[in-house]
Structure 1
């Protein structure tokens, strides 16, 4: 058989095999159901590996966990985030075969340098089993179940280091807002493999100044939040369905929070009742405060606390935890505080500008590259000591980062407001007063109206 005959024979055989394979399929008809049970969007040419697993907790509940890494990753640290906002969505930002596209913007620097990125849905939300409890309190006076976010973090880390062959056995936890809360919870009873934590704008005390109340003043848009997450494990898409318009005007027209709640039919929603039935700072709130939990325990895991100067939701938590942990940091090298020029969670996105302020470059990227990643590299990969500043703040007027040894930095200086409306460092020679009208119908907004 010559070469041409052999090629023709092989081609014929290939066609016969293909035809035979096609013949085994059920014929499609106009009445063939069109539901697709499974489609793997990660194609063979993708530059990453994606696994979705169910990790068992100590009480038997399983939590859905998505593990993503570049192909060929070996001896790599794990970077974990525990979220109430859909782990699958956090690993599918853009449909792509490139890892930097499918993951969040802030993940690029890490996965490009060999990190294993892990997102997990906390218990009771999305595809995770169990019951969701809003900011589930630590096991103790408010929680007699033996289960909290710290035990779930511990069990998750234990499973990951034992069942992720590409890992080096070291884990860091990172997250913002509610994910900042779960990051701090991993410090309560830290797993030995937990080597470093970055908690960004963490929810720490829901009454004193994080999310639900601001020093006792209730944030009405919290009502929609607990409804959306609590309805059908976050998958139901529940909202108040009020159409276009301004929510602030609706709140005023309702007359009170209780009246608004009744008007939209959510007076029996557990999260709503927690707010309305506990308006004062009682043990209902004080025993949930994460800074108090951490202050009562040894601190062993290097921790970076991050917040934006213009965080409209969680500006209280990071400085509060810093105050709780800093006295335990006797060498001033295990607890650090970063205050940057960002909105809520702005450090995870682009940081070129904020409103009318324009900065010298991308301040968020600069923080991630110069401070966050070297911090994790040192503790998770054995990288050089980055000499993380104890306190790092951004001066917007000078467009520069400043380093301090403590926070607050410097010394106190009296600032006086005179009766004529002038502010000065000089004490006024006469006392007086200035009157103004605080009109709820004309508020000082933190976001542009209409609010919807």
Structure 2
């Protein structure tokens, strides 16, 4: 047996070490490259299909295989592979969406050969056939899918080829990368110009699209795009989206509404598209949207009823709109809504470095600066340079080379003060919101805390609010579009793979057209329990759990269970040196293939669970601590260690200790005195934890280039520098501290 295993390992190593012939002349001669690529792909395919890869048949396998088959010019096989991929892994409606550009190309090449046609004629034939087979909702997405960045594809191909300079062979990994880069360049440079023209022609047949500039009462200009289905001649309800991300999505959002038989209206915020006004994100939406709703509700194509939809900033905009509710606004569908001042640009009062990247993304020009925003290397280097420098967080924009008044203004408001409060409903404002609302968010949504803040505040101040919530295993993108098959590398249950678009427009039909209520909305809170393939429905958020389990910060060596209150009081000491910017990372080893980073944290592990447990809701509790400074930022992670030796992140929480009890007014800690820090606004999750698992709890201190660093001097954290850090932070985590884990039982 051991001998067979050894032979298998030798075989795999040989395969990994294998190199393929690839002439160095192909690097500089495009004609030679064209001739060599099919043969190279044919050599790479067998290795991809080797015993090492084939049994798993995962997403990467199919994704690589269909691309290699295309490069090898076996277009029929690539179509078959895509079909198999969809059957096994397809996201809801995502199979066509994700790969349609490659399908247009493959179908065109097949038609070219079969009919001896010029490529442009073959492409038109392929386009007409495939386009007509798509659902109306997928048709609206096609322009976004085929709008590939050919210039970037060519740059990537050039970089891959440069690595092959003066070489006559290529290894498997490099060959695979070359085939993929070549295919992207070949496909999109061949199809994009013609397909975009064909799509424009189709849109002209199906839709009436108008772009206008609206003047507000105070003299500002807003650009609005109106999209109507040509065959709809009677007035219809209007679905309005307030969009700071001016660009291709404006028409997409409009057509999306039109295909569901509404009028789509997309207004760009001040300073975007045709507006020459100052662009101050978030600040004027409440005022401007009221005037936009007033205008659209009075147009001849409107029946006077308006609904709103959109995610992230667009979700925030809807809450801004109901700060002063216009009578024509009948419903909103805020998706993954930014909680301004709550979870962005600061999460629980801790500002994030990402805020500067986003500010430049939406303010660098009249549309969006995609190239700058997606330049991860640039932004990582800026954040790292700031972190290494020890300068104040206020210096981040200067370090980026582009000082920002918006960035500085936001930093002037570290508490949830009137600056933030005036942008959206606050306290009693929520009591006046009496229109039906549908909120969607996800367990992995970056703005979950914001989305649920609005939900909780609405229900707190309006007990009879007609407000529904759908929450499941979705990330920021999934909870405003469709439930992806895989999220954070983990498969989600089939029942969770729903179309958020279809849910939203079913809701609009229900509210604005007297249709049927969407089936999933069986109660006010509708949540998917991961690992059970079921949805649950409860009347309020707190009913997501039926009991709690307290996980105490204690070493199990001194007690039978972390879930029992310790009999005697003690503490675990942690030291964090803020001056050390080269801290060596530490890890908790889960298994040979998995580990969890524990740098700047201490961890506590539970005993192995002897029965299944459904964790549902968000962790709460208190930390009892004593520190030698006036403040610090806590950082908490709750993991499941699965029976198969893999880790699964369940929930996170971070908070500035001085704001933990009141996010408006800061109250500094007293050095070396015992204090209690409440755990509020952690991330919600619902998942069955299998018998044989254990829970791992990490508690520690935020010290990362991705966030402000709180040195604990008591000064405004944005102004602190490494010189304010003084002696290392010492924390005593007392063992009567606990994280209260929400548990659900039928």
SS at match of 1:341: strand
Instruction: Rate the CA distance shift 1:222–1:186 in 2: closer, same or farther, 3 A.
Output: same
Q: What CA distance in whole angstroms lies between the structure 1 residues aligned with 2:436 and 2:487?
A: 30
Q: What CA distance in whole angstroms lies between the structure 2 residues aligned with 1:244 and 1:310?
A: 26
The aligned counterpart of 1:119 is 266
Q: What CA distance in whole angstroms lies between the structure 1 residues aligned with 2:322 and 2:390?
A: 42
Out of 41-50 and 299-308, give the one that drifted further. 41-50
Contact kept in structure 2, 1:347 and 1:365, CA below 8 Å: no
Listed as ranges, the matches of 1:237-316 within 5 Å are 239=372, 246-247=380-381, 248-256=383-391, 257-267=393-403, 269-278=404-413, 280-281=414-415, 283=417, 285=419, 287-288=421-422, 290-292=424-426, 295=429, 297-312=431-446, 314-316=447-449
Instruction: Rate the CA distance shift 1:154–1:288 in 2: closer, same or farther, 3 A.
Output: closer
Query: Are 2:321 and 1:157 equivalent residues in the alignment?
Result: no
Give the one of 326, 349, 352 matched to 2:481.
349
The aligned counterpart of 1:416 is 551
Give the one of 304, 323, 327 matched to 1:188.
323
The aligned counterpart of 1:96 is none
SS at match of 2:331: strand
Give the one of 134, 140, 158 matched to 2:281.
134
Listed as ranges, the matches of 1:16-95 within 5 Å are 42-43=200-201, 46-73=205-232, 74-86=234-246, 88-92=247-251
C-alpha displacement of 1:373: 2.6
Instruction: Rate the CA distance shift 1:221–1:174 in 2: closer, same or farther, 3 A.
Output: same
Deviations 1:193-212 (A, max 9, x none): 21110111222232x3x221
Contact kept in structure 1, 2:335 and 2:480, CA below 8 Å: no
The aligned counterpart of 1:322 is 455
Query: Are 2:571 and 1:433 equivalent residues in the alignment?
Result: yes
Which ranges of structure 2 fall in alignment gaps of 5 or more residues? Answer: 1-196, 586-596, 600-636, 638-648, 650-703, 707-746
Which ranges of structure 1 fall in alignment gaps of 5 or more residues? Answer: 1-38, 93-102, 137-147
Instruction: Rate the CA distance shift 1:224–1:255 in 2: closer, same or farther, 3 A.
Output: same
Instruction: Rate the CA distance shift 1:343–1:164 in 2: closer, same or farther, 3 A.
Output: farther
C-alpha displacement of 1:260: 3.4
Contact kept in structure 2, 1:304 and 1:335, CA below 8 Å: yes
RMSD over aligned Cα, in angstroms?
3.5
Q: What CA distance in whole angstroms lies between the structure 1 residues aligned with 2:479 and 2:336?
A: 10
Contact kept in structure 1, 2:525 and 2:538, CA below 8 Å: yes
Deviations 1:412-443 (A, max 9, x none): 52412252158744333344434556687547
Contact kept in structure 2, 1:350 and 1:362, CA below 8 Å: no
Q: What CA distance in whole angstroms lies between the structure 2 residues aligned with 1:245 and 1:235?
A: 16
Query: Are 2:356 and 1:197 equivalent residues in the alignment?
Result: no
Q: Which has the higher strand share?
A: 2
Q: What CA distance in whole angstroms lies between the structure 2 residues aligned with 1:216 and 1:272?
A: 15
> 1 or 2 for the larger relative contact order (CA 8 Å, sep ≥6)?
1
C-alpha displacement of 1:285: 4.6
SS at match of 1:182: helix
SS at match of 2:426: helix
SS at match of 2:344: coil
Listed as ranges, the matches of 1:396-415 within 5 Å are 396-409=530-543, 410-415=545-550
C-alpha displacement of 1:181: 1.3
C-alpha displacement of 1:384: 2.9
The aligned counterpart of 1:143 is none
Contact kept in structure 1, 2:286 and 2:424, CA below 8 Å: no
Q: What CA distance in whole angstroms lies between the structure 2 residues aligned with 1:126 and 1:407?
A: 40
Q: Which has the higher helix share?
A: 2
Deviations 1:210-258 (A, max 9, x none): 2211122221121122123223445677959895584453342232323
C-alpha displacement of 1:291: 4.7
Contact kept in structure 1, 2:239 and 2:265, CA below 8 Å: yes
Larger Rg: 2
Instruction: Rate the CA distance shift 1:396–1:296 in 2: closer, same or farther, 3 A.
Output: closer
Instruction: Rate the CA distance shift 1:415–1:186 in 2: closer, same or farther, 3 A.
Output: same
The aligned counterpart of 2:510 is 378
The aligned counterpart of 2:624 is none
Contact kept in structure 2, 1:416 and 1:425, CA below 8 Å: yes
C-alpha displacement of 1:76: 2.4
Q: What CA distance in whole angstroms lies between the structure 2 residues aligned with 1:293 and 1:411?
A: 28
Instruction: Rate the CA distance shift 1:54–1:345 in 2: closer, same or farther, 3 A.
Output: same
Contact kept in structure 2, 1:204 and 1:289, CA below 8 Å: no
